[in-house]
Amino acid sequence: KYLSGSEIRQKFLDFYAQRQHKILPSASLIPEDPTVLLTIAGMLPFKPIFLGQKTPDYPRATTSQKCIRTNDIENVGRTARHHTFFEMLGNFSFGDYFKEEAIAWAWELSTEVFGLPPERLIPSVFEEDDEAFAIWRDKIGIPPHRIKRMGADDNFWTSGPTGPCGPCSEIYYDFHPELGDENIDLEDDSRFIEFYNLVFMQYNRDAQGNLTPLQSKNIDTGMGLERMAQILQQVPNNYETDLIFPIVKTAAEIAGIDYSKADEKTKVSLKVIGDHIRAVVHMIADGISASNIGRGYVLRRLIRRVVRHGRLVGIEGVFTPQVAEVAIALAKDVYPNVIATEEDIKGQLQREESAFLKTIEKGEKLLTEIVQKEKQQISGEDAFTLYDTHGFPLELTQEIAAENGLTVDVEGFEREMEKQRQRGRESHKTIDLTVQGSLDKLAEHIHSTEFVGYTQSQSTARVE
């Protein structure tokens, strides 16, 4: 019998509670930190502690934190492991234990509590972190050729140009150990999945780039609940775990599709629906309303993507409240605020989806005009306007164009898309633990009505 998602969550928290960690509830998806739009990692609620601005009354904590990462939106349904909404299990040390305990416990939890075979686990370390390498080799007993040294991109955590930072060590699971140790490439996601990240916050970086050891060293970790569920439940991707599959299956049923027989493209759409509905349910439960700025805009675009993908798999009429019901039922034992806001969630979805369906109708009118005007081809700009403003998937525009003997300038469309992506990237913010970040926060309180910069730039971030 496989462990359920709930059992995995509980076993993680219990394991660290037995090691004197205080179990804290998940913080809201709306962060207290003004430098990020949504809670993107388990460490975010502890940021003031890591910065030394706040002293905790406990030296160790453990959480299962709701997270949303919109920067992974293009991976949703396409990779087996990425979501917008997911839960990050974490154990944290505030100036208390450090590398040795963090690594030993992560190993014990993975191999003894979750029962993962040691020969299927590969640790990575930052290339200069000989200390972590030695712990894996000598204390844990991993053969040196199975410990992978990685560059700063993957294995050095910073929060901005200055501030606390440090190397990290990640644990990967090997789906195909029969391929041997000779060519271990952790980037190959058909063979490996990263499931646990251990960050060793040990330096402060100054404006000149010098690293000085922190007086009080911290541990910040994150394990993806859905990824551990994928591994333990032996399913091909996160979407087929008990945490999400009931939603995917319901969407398939509404569409009259048998998921197991569906083609790849249909499966992607059903997975997008499964992912985004969870995000939407938790966002509304945490008090976010659909709008045209900031978090509300992210919410609105997620809802619209669900509707669009619903159309792509042949669903007609309002269906999001019905799939949301499944997500609410899945969340209710752990997140009481979800069941408490059930009516609000379904009401908002009903309104947003109906309004969006009208927008789509307007788009159809515009498309009809375009079709009448063009002789051969719908331009990339027009296709993009239909997509961006009216929520028309390119496939739909192509289909309607074809019915009228026209083609679509797909390259032109892609160019417009790339421009939009560029705008999104420019507005992307990383966690900012810097002095400037704190100053911005201060400034925001002083000029709370004038400080619109971050909301505006974030609102153009790409979430289509």
Q: Which residues bind ligand ATP (CB under 6 A)?
A: 69, 72, 81-83, 86, 88, 194-197, 222-224, 226-227
Q: Which does 47 bind (CB under 5 to 8 A by kind): ligand ATP, Mg ion, none?
A: none
Closest Cα to residue 431, out of 39, 88, 1, 68?
39
Nearer to ligand ATP, 88 or 401 (CB): 88
Nearer to Mg ion, 197 or 241 (CB): 197
Q: Which does 226 bind (CB under 5 to 8 A by kind): ligand ATP, Mg ion, none?
A: ligand ATP
> For residue 66, what is the enclosing H or E element?
strand 60-68
CB of 235 to ligand ATP, least distance (A): 14
Which residues pair with residue 123 across a beta bridge?
171
In the DSSP assignment, the letter for residue 159 is S
Torsion on CA atoms 187, 189, 193, 197, rounded to nearest 10: 30
- Residue number, nearest CB to ligand ATP: 224
Residues 6+ apart with CB under 8 A from 195: 171, 172, 173, 223, 224, 227, 228, 231
> For residue 123, what is the enclosing H or E element?
strand 121-126
Dist. CA 371–CA 43, nearest whole Å: 51
Dist. CA 420–CA 163, nearest whole Å: 31
CB of 72 to Mg ion, least distance (A): 6
Nearer to ligand ATP, 126 or 196 (CB): 196
Nearer to ligand ATP, 79 or 455 (CB): 79
Dist. CA 369–CA 367, nearest whole Å: 5
Tokens of 63: 């959480």
Nearer to ligand ATP, 66 or 81 (CB): 81
Closest Cα to residue 136, out of 126, 128, 145, 147?
147
CB of 194 to Mg ion, least distance (A): 5
- Residue number, nearest CB to Mg ion: 197
> For residue 196, what is the enclosing H or E element?
strand 192-205
Q: Which does 69 bind (CB under 5 to 8 A by kind): ligand ATP, Mg ion, none?
A: ligand ATP
CB of 153 to ligand ATP, least distance (A): 10
Whether residue 327 contacts residue 316, with contact meaning beta carbons closer than 8 Å, is answered with no
Whether residue 456 contacts residue 293, with contact meaning beta carbons closer than 8 Å, is answered with yes
Using N-to-C axis directions, what is the helix angle for 342-373 and 264-285, rounded to 10°?
Answer: 130
Q: Contact residues for Mg ion (CB under 5 A)?
A: 194, 197
CB of 227 to ligand ATP, least distance (A): 5
Nearer to ligand ATP, 86 or 94 (CB): 86
CB of 85 to ligand ATP, least distance (A): 8
Nearer to ligand ATP, 86 or 319 (CB): 86
Nearer to ligand ATP, 68 or 252 (CB): 68
Q: Which does 92 bind (CB under 5 to 8 A by kind): ligand ATP, Mg ion, none?
A: none
Q: How far is CA 319 from CA 142, 197, 314, in A?
A: 51, 37, 11
CB of 44 to ligand ATP, least distance (A): 11
CB of 200 to ligand ATP, least distance (A): 13
Q: Which does 268 bind (CB under 5 to 8 A by kind): ligand ATP, Mg ion, none?
A: none
Q: Which does 101 bind (CB under 5 to 8 A by kind): ligand ATP, Mg ion, none?
A: none
